[in-house]
Chain A
Amino acid sequence: MSSTFIRGPICGVDNCPSRLWRIIAGRRTCQYGHVMEGDIEFNNDDDAAGQQSQGVITKRLNLTTNQQGSFQSSLSFSQQNIQKIKHSKKFIKGKQAKLLMIKSLQYILKKQVDYLINICGFPVNFENIVKLIWLSFLCKVNNEPKGVIISLNINITVSVIYFSILQLGLPVYFCDLINWISSLDFPYYKAGNIIPRSWNERLPNFYLSSLNGNNLLTLKTFTDAILRFNSLTHTSKKFNSTINVTGLIFKLVTLNTLPPEFFFYTKKFVELFCSDEKDLTISIYKIPNRSVSNHILLPETYVILSFILTIRYILLYDGVYTEKQIYPNSWLEALLRTAPINEEDISEKSVNRRLTKLLNTNHDVANEVSSNPINWTEKETTNYLTWIERKFVPLEVKNHEELGKFSMDEGIILRKLNDIVPLDSTDFPYTELNRTPLTFIEELQEKYLRLLDSVDNNNSNTVNSNRVNEDIDFKKRLDLICKLENKIIFDLSNDFNTSVENLQYQLAAFETRIKTYNN
């Protein structure tokens, strides 16, 4: 009836070029009489209303066209499908995905190196070494005829960093890396969200999950990763791959507040028994095998084990081959009893160590006293909560927001909730610890002073009843040495994120090896 034409999309049936549409008997028909596919008619008026008022009143929707020139109100089914596809994520697969994966690994590596140089005070030269090793990896990957063999995950970047540390001979070890990771400073946890959003959207979930370091690195996985990387790129052939032994020994001695002579003892011990090239370097021939991976050790573990053995032997034979006991029982007791430091005086490093301890999943939390949150003091809890507030929660929220995981409504709802339950409520005041963060050296001094004090106290208390009953004394001493050793093993297992059983097993194996070595 009405001959007014509306401009719309091209009809396209039988190559019909018409863009003009009109409505004939409720159907949208083009200039040449083709009926539009999937046309929807909107009838807003009630039938009853039409009957009552006898004149027919029709309501027309203002037909607007979108960018493509089609009517917005009516979409053909084919068009709808196209729109749906557009909304869904476009994942890339195969070789392209692997390329993008390597790209994002490189991006993460850059961030990690930035952190190490700017905040941890690594030498500027470090970046060049990392670049060299990364290039060797890229070269290897590129020349491989079958493409990438090694499984791409975030541990590759960590191993690149580790190798460059070895090359420069820096006194940085696996335990430090773990500490940085667990304090969430070092870009490892949720690293997949650091990369640009366009990359993140295109990567399939499998790759993304391998980019996110969701679990804390354990000693075993770290060793595996490094050996795999080495077997692929042969880095240890081209670069220095022996660890900085003296630095590690010094670290171990100071952390356990032992007198300085233990440094030399341990060094001598290492020179004697770990002089083997194999022990202190990473060789290509240690190809990781899941079934026998227990026997393949990181060079650091050899140093740890020899440190423990040194303490054991020296304390056992103290006073036997020497005339006077240098390390009396009172000293041992004082070592075991190291009083807890004030929470205010704790350094950043110790906080991170505690976090690592908390995250160590190798032993049950319930069995321990110190890392079990039930036994935490109020100050410890406050410290932990401030850390959570500053580091953990912002990271979580930021990741969600940046990735667009919140819809608009969700964001509004959550903001409302945050208003209802604000962090700083007047009804529930909390006192922040106003601590001036000590440096690690200051804390160490504090520790040694405390030890000295407690030793002095012990000496004054105990009456000099030397060699009254030697048997009992010896038994007591043995007991003390065992306790001390267990304590050190426990601490080290926390620092290196392994189980106590594993370390003990390794220790036994190492001891038998040394005995055969002597013979």
Chain B
Amino acid sequence: MFDIPLNTSTYVNKHRVRERQLRYRYINEHTKQYKKYKRHVYKKKVLRRKYSDKKYGSSLDENFNNSDNNNNNNNNHPENKEYLIARRNKKKTKWTTVYSQDTQELESENNAFGSTKYEEDSDISETEDTNNANINDTDEDARIKLEKNDYDNDDDNNNLDEEEAFISSKDERKYFSRHHKPQQTYELWIDPNTTTHRPLQTNIIRFPEWSKIETRTKSKLKEPLAQTTHSLKAYQKLIPYGLYLHDPHNIRSYHKRPTIQDKHIETMVILLRIHISKLNWSMAYRIFALLIRIPRVDIRSIWQYGVAILNQSENLIQCLTFLEWMHSVFSSKKAYHLTNLLQSDPVFRGSSRNHTAQFSLTWLWNSLIFYSTKGDQTRRNKHDYEKGNMRIKEEDGEYDEHFLNKYDKEGMERLIEKITEMILSPPFMEDGEVWFILAMCHMMRADYTSLCYLNRRGGQPSYEREKLYDQVTYDINKVIKYLKESKSRQNGDFLYPNDYIMRSLTQIELRVSEEEEEEEEEEDDDDEEEEKEASLSDDTNKPTHMSLTNKRKEIEENNRYQLVSQAINESDLRPELDSSLFQVEEENSFLQTLDMPDYLLEDDYNNQYNAHDNFYTNRDSDDREYSSD
């Protein structure tokens, strides 16, 4: 039913690996051929445009007619000569090395036909070209034909001279084709070169072209399929129709017979899923605890269930410790070598030098939420900050205390320390999400300290207040810095409620600055500077050192902040996507907007379940949703 979660070092189902390899090879080959075809059509258009502008059609036509008798006639026209030389050069540079074959084909148009190699093609191919050209009347078509011929030549293996010329290189290719390349067993999702990107379904493809592509891919797959089993060959035939091989009579010999161990583990995994779906947590916990104890089970493929189950317990730290254990044991900083004979799934279960493991990210998110709420997310109600106008007033004292009690100061400090440490090393250094989490941590701390500042309004030594003030400004600076960092990172292009974050930052800042205005009229310029740097609307024109009109300036500034926030609220400056995703009015905390906790939906049991499900299983997709801009 499902893939059995076993350690891949011991468990390799060769049949499945081969099938997957073949399937993706077929898909990759097919897309490659299709791209070639697209490129060919594209060239056609470009050439037609080019040569229809300049009018030396007649001379070219003559040239091609004469070329049957004498090839040198081609050189009569300067343009034509240039073109032919360029073409010859192209052909010479086609075949470079075996290793770089794949990438080169993708990268450059010149090497698009790199799999076929023509070095000494001057005489034969040109005569062929011209023969073809004679059929067509116009010179443009002749040119296209030239190109097309290049495309078609791939199939023509009849010419013995050519084959003899490239026996050596062919042998080399054969030799290397025999070696198993794991990178071919996975679908190429992204073409690294953006220049070759062309929309796939712009034109309708006609059947003849389609069949041509089909035959070409088949011919490409001939070689690797030469020495395989019948079943694999049959499987290859079924791929284009989207079918799978299922032979009920022969199924045991075709697929490896599951051992006693496999069978039991499989059964347990099925039971685990069933009981999670039934919300029977105690049973699910027991199954999970048993599964973990079996040495051959790979925890990396079932940890999500573990997190979902452990989150149901009252002791929420258990889940965090489990995730921390996962992070400390399974995060490796080794680079993932495609050349290794790893027949396992891709790295996505674990981590590598360029890929942060999902469980580490989950750990960070969960601990951020936990330390800022102590696991209790019902702390804030709707009326706290109404409509983004987060002016703190005396009535909010109760709420403040509530929040202050819920915030785990030491835990958050530890978390920040941990992340700053992590960020120094490769996989986390390049991950925008980690930077974003760090920024959020700082924001939480700023929120907390600013509230502390407000809370101890009276009877507090000034140096402590200064300390708090410094802390807030420091944190706000960090938030902005890290948000910038996260944007510049590899996968940091996800969309997040930037407006909302900035607005709450200004609010946090306001809490402190208001106090400054009221009580301490003389403020350090340095602090003010920092404040300005940190603020959302960094007005560079604003004078920084104005000792005389210091007070007035401050008031103006505060007013401006208010104005900005009001303006944002009143006008629909916020993008639609943003507002729909993050309902600021209802869920006031940015943390709550990031991922909907189930606690908010206590009324409806089903809803709770759904939200919970989304919360854990689709965390990844939730986070990436913003990136779809």
Please report A residues at the B interface, Cβ cutoff 8 Å: 182, 189, 214-216, 358-359, 361-362, 365-366, 373-374, 376, 378, 381-382, 384-385, 388-389, 392-393, 396-397, 400, 405-406, 413-414, 416-418, 420-423, 425, 427-430
Contacts and interface: CB of A to CB of B under 8 A. Distances in A.
A373 B263 contact: no
Contact of B283 (A374, A378, A405, A425): A378
Contact of A420 (B263, B285, B318): B318
Interface in B271-303: 271, 274-275, 280-283, 285-290, 292-296, 299
A385 B313 CA distance: 21
Nearest to A213: B260
B264 A421 contact: no
A392 B314 CA distance: 30
B266 to A, nearest CB: 9
A384 B310 CA distance: 22
Contacts of B259: 214-215
A423 B283 contact: no
B317 to A, nearest CB: 10
A414 B289 CA distance: 12
Contacts of B314: 427
A402 B550 CA distance: 78
A430 B267 contact: no
Interface string B224-264: 00000000000000000000000000001000011111011
A400 B295 contact: yes
A359 B271 CA distance: 15
Contact of A373 (B271, B295, B325): B271
The 8 A-B pairs with the shortest beta carbon distances in the complex, nearest first, are: A427-B313, A428-B285, A428-B282, A214-B259, A400-B295, A373-B270, A421-B289, A373-B267
B315 interface: yes
B204 interface: no
B403 to A, nearest CB: 27
Interface in B60-117: none
Name the residue in B264, B310, B315 with the highest tally of chain A Cβ atoms < 10 Å from its Cβ: B264
15 contacts: A215-B257, A215-B259, A362-B252, A365-B1, A378-B283, A381-B271, A385-B287, A396-B296, A406-B295, A420-B321, A421-B288, A421-B310, A427-B314, A427-B315, A430-B283
B363 to A, nearest CB: 13
A417 B329 CA distance: 10
B72 to A, nearest CB: 67
Contacts of A428: 281-282, 285-286, 309, 312-313
A384 B263 CA distance: 13
A361 B283 contact: no
B268 interface: yes
Nearest to B288: A421
A418 B274 contact: no
Contacts of B285: 425, 427-428
A240 to B, nearest CB: 32
B306 interface: yes
A280 B270 CA distance: 42
Nearest to B263: A359
A388 B290 contact: yes
Contacts of B186: none
Contacts of B322: 417, 420-421
A469 B309 CA distance: 60
Contact of B289 (A374, A378, A422): A422
A427 B267 CA distance: 24
A385 B263 contact: no
A420 B267 CA distance: 24
A50 B313 CA distance: 60
Given A374-B270, A374-B274, A420-B322, A388 B281 contact: no
Contact of A405 (B292, B293, B295, B313): B295
Given A378-B280, A428-B281, 7 more contacts: A214-B259, A393-B294, A397-B295, A405-B295, A421-B322, A427-B285, A428-B286
Contact of A417 (B274, B286, B292): B292
A424 B568 CA distance: 54
A291 to B, nearest CB: 14
A392 B289 contact: no
A400 B296 CA distance: 9
A182 B289 contact: no
A358 B267 contact: yes
Given A189-B260, A388-B268, A423 B290 contact: yes
Given A421-B322, A427-B314, A361 B252 contact: yes
B10 to A, nearest CB: 10
B267 A396 contact: no
Given A400-B295, A405-B295, A417-B325, A429 B271 contact: no
B383 to A, nearest CB: 34
Name the residue in B259, B322, B329 with the highest tally of chain A Cβ atoms < 10 Å from its Cβ: B259
Contacts of A389: 290
A420 B261 contact: no
A91 to B, nearest CB: 19
A268 B212 CA distance: 71
Contact of B274 (A366, A373, A397, A420): A373
A393 B1 CA distance: 22
A291 B85 CA distance: 66
A425 B318 CA distance: 11
Contacts of B261: 214, 396
Contacts of B318: 420-421, 427
A230 B264 CA distance: 33
A388 B264 contact: yes
